[in-house]
Every structure is written in C-alpha cells, then in structure tokens.
Amino acid sequence: MKWTLRISGGPRRVNHAAVAVDQIIYSFGGYCTGENFKDFTPIDVHVFNTLTMKWRSFPVIRREDPRADEVPFRRYGHTVVEHFGKVYLWGGRNDEQACNILYCFDTRTHCWSCPRVHGQIPGARDGHSAAILGNRMFIFGGFEEESQTFSHDLYCLDLVTFTWTLVTTNGTPPRNRDFHTCTALGDCLYVFGGRGDVAGAIHTRREVYDNAMVVFNTVSNQWTYPQVQGDIPLGRRSHSAFEQNGYIYIFGGYNGIEKQHFNDLHQFDPVRKEWKKLNPSGQVPWGRRRQTCCVIGNWMYLYGGTRPLPGALPPSDEDDPDNPPSLLDLGDLCVLDFSPSLRVLAMLEVVRYQLEAKYLPLELK
C-alpha cells in the first residue's frame, strides 16, 4: 500500500460530497472560504477523470433558467450515492437553511431532476450519512434544522418506488450525532465517529467524540455493538470511510476536544472485529477534515477538505468550533494504491511527465 500521487491546483472544496461512477469522480457543492452561501445559487459540479488525471467543471445553471427549479442550491454537509449511473443528492444546507428535497443527477445526460417521493420524508438536516444497499438508500443521523437537535434516526428510501420509511429498529441505536460515517458491507451498515453532545439530542457545545463501531443489520433491523480489539482510532468527526476488499477504512478527521486534525489510516476487519493502524509508504497527505474519499479499482482518491495553516495556533475555546480561524481550504487530490506494482509505478511516472508538460502542479511521491 502506497501514497503514489498528489495533484494540486484542483477546485478548493470543503464539506462537499463526491461519488465515483466508472472512471469518473463527480464532486458536488461544498464551500470555499469567502464564497457567498446566503444566496440560493444552483450547485456547482466538478469532475475528475481518473484516466487523464484532469479536472473540469460543468457550467452552473443560472437561477433564471427554467431548469433551475430542478437543480439543488449550493450547499455543504449533504450526501450523494450512485445507483445505476444516477447520483442521488440529499440534505445539506447553505448559510440560510437546510434541505430535505431529493435530487437526481444523470451522469449520462448531465441533467438534474427531482423525483417525486412519498412516505415518511426525513426532516431537513446536514451532517448526516448516506449508504446504499441494493435498491435502498439509508440516511442516518445528522443535525436537524427544525428542532435544532442531533438525530439518531435511520431512514430508508426505496429507489424503485421512491418511498421513504422511518426504519423501526431493535437494540440501542448509536448516540445522536452528526458528521460521522456509515459504510455498507454485506447486509450491514457500519457507523463510526461523529460529533455528539453530553446532553444527547440537544446541542450545548459540550461535545462527545465516540469511537465505538456500531453495526446495523438490515435483515434483522438490529443495532449491535461488537467487542472490538486492536488499534482503535480516537473518536473524530468529518473523517472519511470507505470499503475495499471486505475491509472498512477510516482516514483523517478532527477531534474538537483534542483540537487535532488527523491524517492516520485505520483498517477495520468486520469478521475478526479488529482495528489495525496502517502506515502506507509514500508521502502521507496533510491532516485534514471534511474531505472526500472515492475508490476505483485498487486506487483510493482523496480530495479536498481543510487543514490548519502551517504554524497556526490550535483553535481556542472562544473560536467557532465548526469554522475556527487559521484554516486552509484544499484543492489537492491524493492517490492511495492498495497494491502498487512496478508497472503501475512506471505508468504514474508517465502521467507525472505528461501533466508537468502541461504546467499542472503535481508531485510524485
């Protein structure tokens, strides 16, 4: 396992949402410090081609365009999943309000639509998680707009009938939280991390960072807390989680109590219930939070996020815990190769040369 490539100069995005479809990574929304997030401007879409290693952006639809009603407004803290070439975007917020409308982006036509949904529609929120199993999209947790509380509800959207259901679960659900991860593997959902509060659902800014792995079985509708062993990661929020070859991986994130940004990589074995801290070769990316990670084949693509400025002091208790000062928004893309070979490394050298010839800043690690 090796960090093989770092491409800088991409669009700087924080708290965005991204998904891989075939060899393309689609990144939706997010923010960059200084941008206006009070207006309801249609969302931006950035695309990274993993074959050419190039970024491009789709033109942003103007608000006066008749199609604008079916395009989500620019937002952060939302989620996206892919289902048969279509990307479903849900939740998130701008500086004015959160949203609970379902949007669909067709990766073949590059057109947006708003599927008509039915059932028990979740309340508007951000900082939730989304995972897909078969024809079902699951939404867990987040910070609810109307009640101003952390959630631990689990909702399911049938992507055939477009019917929402509040899932009736057995066992003790995870602590109310936002900015956690939920990873689908087999028939189960694996929830890790996030920010909670000692008061439970109420947001009193007395934060809790849970590091328990909580499992939901979608067949029995049962929550369980497996006894885990190994190098258990510290609790964190705004990290990334992804699955590869039957293992779950956790990268990065932030702990507001320790005031620490992470750049560690952990592997969870769901069979042995064991954590292992990994140390891939190559130059490890900067510690960061609110990034995205997408897996294509044997490569994981880490993109964006925010990190402390070099030499910056840790945030103080008086700072806004969500947006402390002295942070640097990132537009780099880093590649983790799960099984590097000499052939792949030679191909990366060719890619590096081609990109440098076109004056794109790139580092081969």
User: Distances in Å between the alpha carbon of 59 and those of 65, 79, 108, 179, 182?
Assistant: 12, 21, 16, 29, 31
* DSSP assignment of 256-291: TTTTEE---EEEEETTTTEEEEE--BSPPPPP-BS-
pLDDT by residue (tens digit) across 75-111? 999 999 999 999 999 999 999 999 999 999 999 999 9
DSSP state of 309: P
Question: Which numeric CATH code is attached to 13-301?
Answer: 2.120.10.80
| pLDDT tens-digit map of 181-212 | 999 999 999 999 999 999 999 999 999 999 99
Longest pairwise C-alpha distance within the chain: 58
Average of pLDDT values for 133-141?
98
State both tokens at 116: 């008509």
70 φ/ψ angles, rounded to the nearest 5 degrees = -100, 10
Distance between CA 117 and CA 316 in Å, rounded?
44
Strand 163-166 to 118-119 pairing: parallel
- Between CA 365 and CA 358 the distance in angstroms is 19
Sheet hosting strand 299-303, strand order edge to edge = 292-296, 299-303, 333-337, 2-7, 362-364
Question: pTM (2 decimals)?
Answer: 0.91
Percent of all residues in the chain with a pLDDT value above 70, rounded to a whole number: 88
